[in-house]
Amino acid sequence: MSDTPAFEPRIVAFFCNWCTYTAADLAGTARLTYAPNVRVVRIMCSGRLDPQFVVTALRQGADGVLIGGCHPGDCHYQEGNYKMLRRFHLLKRMLKQFGIDDQRVRLEWISASEGDKVQRVINEMVAQVRDLGPLALVGKPTPHPDASEKHAAA
Amino acid sequence: MSETMQSAEPRVGVYVCHCGINIAAKVDIAAVVEFAKTLPYVIVVRDYKFMCSDPGQELLQQDIKELGLNRIVVASCSPLMHEATFRHATEAAGLNQFYFQMANIREHVSWVTADKALATRKSQALVSAAVRRVVLNEPLEHQKVPVKPNVLVVGGGIAGIHAALTLANAGKQVTLVEREPTIGGHMAKFDKTFPTLDCAACILTPKMSMVRSHPNITMLTYAEVVGVEGYVGNFTVKVKKKARYVHEELCVGCNECVEACVYKEGRFTDTFNEGLSKRKPVYMPFPQATPSVVLIDPESCIELKTGKCKKQCATACTRNAIDFTMTDEIVALEVGAIIIATGFQTFDATRIPQYGYGKFPNVYTSLEVERLVNASGPTGGEVQLRDGSTPKRVGIIHCVGSRDEKTNRHCSRVCCMYSLKLAHLIHERTDAEVYNLYIDMRTPGKGYEEFYDKLLKEGVNFIRGRAAEVTDWTVTPEEEGKLVIRAEDTLIGVVRRIPVDMVVLSVGLEAHADADEVRRLFNISCSKEGWFLERHPKLAPVSTFTDGIFIAGACQGPKDIPDTVAQAGAAVAEALALVDRGFVELEPNTAFITKELCSGCHTCIAMCPFSAIRYNKEAGVAEINPALCKGCGTCVAACPSGAAQQHLFTDEQIFQEIEGVLNYV
């Protein structure tokens, strides 16, 4: 990527174990290719999504955050997705106040059988964030390659 | 051992799997290995063709013993696929299994990424995340929970019947719930079964009767599951028994009440006969109905509608079984496992108006013809047109509501074979000229192709092509008074007009219209078409994403009777493996409260959907009951002070994972 001047966004995704993570597995089984910019962190339920995870991801260098949960009414834990939905709206308001375009954070309900939706949403989001450009936070740390930290840890 | 591990400096081993060429073709394995070597605490990095194989597992086990590794990362497939495999391997080498972490570089990388360089970078980032995270993993123990020994089977078709009987024969107490007033399902409507032409009733009704008399089976017919609570091994199920207005234990099925009903003739649609006959408000669904008990339809019964009937049925019943005051009843069950076998519905042929179903009286669905050829059907097995005459020419149109972009894209799997069977039966009973209009003849099954051969020799006509329409617009004298099927015969390349007396639409199989509600009730998933989703299409075909709930038969996808029975047997084996073990090990990903950090603000308590959190007044802190906690982590996300944490998913572990995935090299 360092050879290409074009901006490639970094997107962190938080997918719930039961619906969206499984859908992403299904996209794989069905060999649906999509943009490689999104990296998935698995959580058991979208209700586990602490808004701090989103903020931390943006602070650590992500240009966007994608959240995937079960469709309303389908939560494996009854209502975790609703709890997350409330936090999500608050989080978006907060991000706006920080001057972060709220299009950088996206929530999608994707069921275990919707592998094609994973593909579509990821491609759309990567294109959208690519258009928005890099997230320019003041004092944003440049992510260090882990190699240098090995010595720090040792 | 775990204590020394905990205090010891992390020593991480990373194992990168080629998965044959599944990963290796798209990911530069050597580059991932070299990268992993640079990550903190990593002692050894190896790659292997198939990490899940015995030699692959031995690699990491040997390193645990010889290199003193205390953390393991395997970069391979999805954790939903092989996490358990590698956890066991880790545990078998003497290390707590939760010191293991997986990086999904197959489903999430190699299978979905076009560019090899980018796939390699993504794999490196995921390995980096797994290494950072595994360092913080803690030793945990599975929570053991006892399993209730009873099993619930939902659906009384051949799948549910076979499952219930097999479980009962294994000594389990089974409750079989069926929505209709009788068990038997679709199979009870058939006359013969393909390809052996076994009489369906001869092989099914003895099983139905065994269900009724088996001491280990409780049959709840005319009943529906309305609530499911609990978790694997410990489900509480609520079943609504609809009012039959007849006491099941008193009724002996003598039909005296049916005779006595003020309606001298049947006036209401007999759904068992697909609407080809009429029944009275008090009726027996069909002669071999199980249980052999009548019921009263509140929609058509004068007494139940207006309260102004002579109630001759009640007078006629010498056993006083009829009770107009009966109401719906809720039955609560405690079960360890649930088998869902709710079957299918057939395609509504009116959705393809060009075939004229509902417009031309002599256009039938295949299920209607099943009733016509059935000896206990409305015509006593005579294949007749609506006017009572015998058809001389019959056209069978395949793939109605199957393999069609406009209706259902899937192949319903059974229609070719049942169309052949109906062609044979119609030809045998009426000596009619029979035409099969098919797209492809699909006969993959034991004896199926041979059956097709037999039909070819019997002189049944086969025309390869999808029928365009069924019309009464006639052009030649020989078409006069007949229905004309227009179709392209793709083998000779002409459009043909086939005049017939009777059209049979081979309707496809669909998921039930309310499959989505049923799925939500049991907290399982379904495909876009509404078929219930298996945990893995090949390796866990009867399991669902909810542990302890299994699926069997056509509710999972279209299938014929042999496959349905085989699948029911498989579901029973899985259910027995669960209940006979006597306990389940629950994933220890429960939430916990660090007392020192808890301010007693109560935020988490309202979050928990399982009432697992309570406030300890004396200590002034919240407490989580691990036996009730299901591990969603919603309380953890809500806790303002960080006192609530989740095992396996602590904030710190997730922060490390975030940093790891953002580590673009």
Place B663 in a pLDDT band, splitting at 50, 70 and 90: confident
B125 touches A: beta carbon within 8 Å:
yes
Residues in chain A with CB shorter than 8 Å from the CB of B102 are: none
Residues in chain B with CB shorter than 8 Å from the CB of A28 are: 78, 106-108, 111-112
Span B256-277, pLDDT tens digits? 999 999 999 999 999 999 999 9
B527 touches A: beta carbon within 8 Å:
yes
Residues in chain A with CB shorter than 8 Å from the CB of B589 are: 44
Nearest to A12 among B546, B638, B662 (CB): B662
d(CA B103, CA A84): 25
**B residues 570-599 closer than 8 Å to A (CB):** 589
Average pLDDT, chain B: 95
Query: B454: alpha, beta or left, given left = phi > 0 and alpha = psi -120 to 50?
Result: alpha
Tokens representing B238 are: 């609520």
**Tell me, what's the pLDDT at B627?**
83
**In chain B, which residue's Cα lies nearest the Cα of A75?**
B523
Residues in chain A with CB shorter than 8 Å from the CB of B115 are: 36
Single-letter residue type at B467: A
**Tell me, what's the pLDDT at B357?**
98
| Record: contact B546-A76, CB cut-off 8 A | yes
Q: How many contacts (CB atoms, under 8 Å) link A and B?
A: 174
**In chain B, which residue's Cα lies nearest the Cα of A73?**
B520
- Nearest CA among B476, B466, B384 for reference residue B430: B384
For residues A74-88, average pLDDT = 93
Q: Which residues pair with B144 in a beta bridge?
A: B585
Please identify which residue in the block is written with the tokens 């007009």: B497
d(CA B628, CA B143): 11
d(CA B79, CA B100): 11
d(CA A70, CA A112): 8
DSSP labels, B566-633: HHHHHHHHHHHHHHHH-EEEEPS--EEE-GGG-----HHHHH-TT--EEEETTTTEEEE-TTT-----
Q: For residue B204, what are the CA distances in angstroms to A74, B173, B232, B254?
A: 36, 22, 32, 22
**Tell me, what's the pLDDT at B251?**
96
B38 touches A: beta carbon within 8 Å:
yes
**Tell me, what's the pLDDT at A139?**
65
Tokens representing B189 are: 């409507």
- Nearest CA among B27, B12, B31, B28 for reference residue B129: B12
**Tell me, what's the pLDDT at B2?**
43
- A133-147, B141-155, B533-547, B568-582: which range is least confident on average? A133-147
For residues B21-44, average pLDDT = 97
A143 pLDDT higher than 60: no
- Nearest CA among A70, A134, A125 for reference residue A103: A125
Residues in chain B with CB shorter than 8 Å from the CB of A84 are: 634, 637
Residues in chain B with CB shorter than 8 Å from the CB of A87 are: 637
DSSP labels, B380-441: TT----TTSPPPSEEEEEEEETSS-TTS--S--SSHHHHHHHHHHHHHHHH--EEEEEESS-
Place A1 in a pLDDT band, splitting at 50, 70 and 90: very low
d(CA B515, CA B298): 25
Nearest to A28 among B107, B526, B632 (CB): B107
CA distance A97 to chain B (A): 21
Domains located in chain B, CATH noted: 2-142 (3.40.50), 151-242+330-343+511-581 (3.50.50.60), 256-325 (no CATH), 347-509 (3.50.50.60), 591-646 (3.30.70.20)
Residues in chain A with CB shorter than 8 Å from the CB of B38 are: 145-147, 150
Please identify which residue in the block is written with the tokens 């192949």: B411
Nearest to B632 among A52, A77, A113 (CB): A77
Residues in chain A with CB shorter than 8 Å from the CB of B131 are: 146
Q: For residue A17, what are the CA distances in angstroms to A69, B10, B416?
A: 9, 27, 39
| Record: contact A112-B41, CB cut-off 8 A | no
| Record: contact B661-A12, CB cut-off 8 A | yes
- Best mutation target among B102, B228, B654, B656 (most A Cβ atoms within 10 Å) is B654
- Best mutation target among B410, B526, B634, B665 (most A Cβ atoms within 10 Å) is B634
Tokens representing B630 are: 């299901």
* Ranges of H-type helices in B26-93: 29-37, 54-67, 79-92
d(CA B384, CA B460): 19
**Tell me, what's the pLDDT at A141?**
57
| Record: contact B128-A146, CB cut-off 8 A | yes
Tokens representing B31 are: 């580059």
**Tell me, what's the pLDDT at A149?**
45
Span B206-222, pLDDT tens digits? 999 999 999 999 999 99
Q: DSSP strand E in B9-142: where?
A: 12-17, 42-48, 71-76, 100-104
Contact B424, B400 (CB under 8 A): no
Measured N-to-C along each axis, helices B29-37 and B116-134 cross at an angle, to the nearest 10 degrees, of: 30
**Tell me, what's the pLDDT at A91?**
96
| Record: contact A56-B526, CB cut-off 8 A | no
On the 0-12 / 13-18 / 19+ scale of CB atoms within 10 A, B383 is buried
ipTM field: 0.90
B205 pLDDT higher than 60: yes
Tokens representing B13 are: 């081993």
Span B479-521, pLDDT tens digits? 999 999 999 999 999 999 999 999 999 999 999 999 999 998 9
Q: Which residues pair with B44 in a beta bridge?
A: B13
Span A91-120, pLDDT tens digits? 999 999 999 999 999 999 999 989 999 999
The CB-based long-range contact list for A88-96 (8 Å cut-off, 24+ gap) reads A88/A49, A90/A51, A91/A51, A91/A54, A94/A51, A95/A54, A95/A58
Q: Percentage of chain B surpassing pLDDT 70?
A: 99
d(CA B460, CA B631): 61
Residues in chain A with CB shorter than 8 Å from the CB of B664 are: 1, 10, 61, 143
| Record: contact B609-A45, CB cut-off 8 A | no
**In chain B, which residue's Cα lies nearest the Cα of A50?**
B637
Contact B116, B23 (CB under 8 A): no
Place A3 in a pLDDT band, splitting at 50, 70 and 90: low
How many residues does the structure list for chain A?
154
For residues A133-145, average pLDDT = 69
Q: In sequence order, what are the residues at sequence separation of 6 or more whose Cβ sits closer than 8 angstroms to the Cβ of residue B347?
A: B400, B401, B402, B407, B408, B412, B507, B508, B509, B510
| Record: contact B633-A112, CB cut-off 8 A | no
**Tell me, what's the pLDDT at A153?**
41
A67 touches B: beta carbon within 8 Å:
no
Pairing state of beta strands B100-104 and B71-76? parallel
d(CA B37, CA B26): 20
Span B409-428, pLDDT tens digits? 999 999 999 999 999 999 99
B638 touches A: beta carbon within 8 Å:
yes
Q: Which residues pair with B237 in a beta bridge?
A: B228, B333
Percent helix, strand, coil in chain B, to 5, is: 35, 25, 45
Residues in chain B with CB shorter than 8 Å from the CB of A153 are: 40-41
d(CA B307, CA B299): 13
- Angle subtended at Cα B32 by Cα B29 and Cα B34, rounded to the nearest 5 degrees: 110
| Record: contact B633-A47, CB cut-off 8 A | yes
Residues in chain A with CB shorter than 8 Å from the CB of B132 are: 146
Which stretch of DSSP H or E encloses residue B164? Answer: helix B158-169
B533 touches A: beta carbon within 8 Å:
yes
d(CA B355, CA B437): 13
A74 pLDDT higher than 90: no
| Record: contact A143-B654, CB cut-off 8 A | no
Q: For residue B297, what are the CA distances in angstroms to B249, B288, B329?
A: 19, 19, 16
- Chain-centroid distance of CA A19 in Å reads 15
**Tell me, what's the pLDDT at B417?**
98
A154 pLDDT higher than 60: no
Domains located in chain A, CATH noted: 11-153 (3.40.50)
Q: Percentage of chain B surpassing pLDDT 90?
A: 94
Largest CA distance in chain A: 49
Span B111-139, pLDDT tens digits? 999 999 999 999 999 999 999 999 999 99
**Tell me, what's the pLDDT at B154?**
98
Q: In sequence order, what are the residues at sequence separation of 6 or more whose Cβ sits closer than 8 angstroms to the Cβ of residue B350?
A: B357, B358
Residues in chain B with CB shorter than 8 Å from the CB of A33 are: 112-114
B28 touches A: beta carbon within 8 Å:
no
